[in-house]
Chain A
Amino acid sequence: MTVRREKAERLADEELMPLIGEKDPEAFEVFYDRHGGVAYSLAYRIVGEKAAAEDVTQEAFISIWKSGARFDRARGSVRSWMLSIVRNRAIDALRSRAGKAPKLSFDDDAILEQRPAEELTDDEAMRRETASELRGALGELPGEQSKVIELAYFGGFSQSEISRMLGVPLGTVKGRMRLGLEKIRGELAEGLA
Chain B
Amino acid sequence: MTETNHERWSEDVAAYLLGALEPDEAAALERHAAGCERCQADIRWMTPAVDALPESVARLEPPRELRERVLAEVRFDAEPEAVFKDDPAATGIFGRASNWLRELGSGPMGLRPVVGFAAAVLVVAAVAGFAIGGGIGSDSGQTSTVVTGTPPGVTAKVISSDSGGTLHLANVKQIPDNRVLEAWVQRDGEVEPVEALFVPDRKGQASTELPDMDGVELVMVTTEPKGGSKSPTSSPLVTIAVPQ
Contacts and interface: CB of A to CB of B under 8 A. Distances in A.
Interface of A: 23-25, 28-29, 32-33, 36-42, 44-45, 50-51, 54-55, 57-59, 61-63, 65-66, 76-77, 80, 83, 86-88, 91, 106, 108-109, 111-115, 127-128, 130-131, 134-135, 137-138, 149, 152-154, 156-160, 162, 171, 173-175, 177-178, 180-182, 184-185, 188
A23 B76 CA distance: 11
B22 interface: yes
Interface in B69-109: 69-71, 73-75, 77-79
Given A29-B71, A59-B152, A185-B46, A134 B63 contact: no
Given A42-B54, A57-B70, A188-B52, 8 more contacts: A23-B77, A36-B62, A36-B67, A58-B152, A66-B119, A113-B61, A158-B22, A160-B22
Contacts of B57: 38, 41-42, 45, 108, 131
Contacts of A180: 14
Interface of B: 11-15, 17-22, 45-63, 66-67, 69-71, 73-75, 77-79, 115, 117-119, 149, 151-153
Contact of A158 (B20, B58, B59): B20
A112 B58 contact: yes
B77 to A, nearest CB: 7
Contact of B71 (A25, A50, A128): A25
A113 B70 contact: no
Contact of A62 (B60, B67, B73): B73
Query: Among the interface residues A32, A77, A181, A184, which one has the most CB atoms of the partner chain B within 10 A?
Result: A181
Contact of B58 (A23, A54, A66, A109): A109
Contact of B20 (A33, A36, A159): A159
B46 A80 contact: no
Contacts of A38: 54-55, 57, 59
Contact of A181 (B50, B63, B117, B149): B50
B46 A32 contact: no
Nearest to B118: A62
Query: Among the interface residues A113, A157, A174, which one has the most CB atoms of the partner chain B within 10 A?
Result: A174
Contacts of B71: 25, 28-29, 32
A156 B53 CA distance: 13
Contacts of B59: 37-38, 41, 112-114, 128, 131
Nearest to A177: B14
B169 to A, nearest CB: 16
B45 A185 contact: yes
A54 B153 contact: yes
Given A61-B70, A153-B50, A127 B55 contact: yes
Contacts of A23: 77-78
Contact of A153 (B22, B47, B53): B53
A80 B60 contact: no
A113 B61 CA distance: 6
B54 to A, nearest CB: 4
A115 to B, nearest CB: 6
Contacts of B51: 76-77, 80, 83
Contact of B46 (A24, A25, A61, A182): A182
* The 4 residue pairs across chains A and B that have the minimum distance between CB atoms: A40-B62, A134-B56, A152-B20, A177-B14
Contacts of B11: 171, 174-175, 178
A39 B61 CA distance: 10
Given A37-B61, A177-B20, A152 B15 contact: yes
Nearest to B171: A51
16 contacts: A54-B63, A62-B74, A65-B77, A87-B54, A130-B55, A134-B53, A153-B19, A153-B20, A158-B15, A159-B20, A162-B20, A178-B13, A181-B49, A182-B49, A188-B48, A188-B49
Nearest to B76: A25
Contacts of B17: 181
Contact of B66 (A40, A137, A157): A40
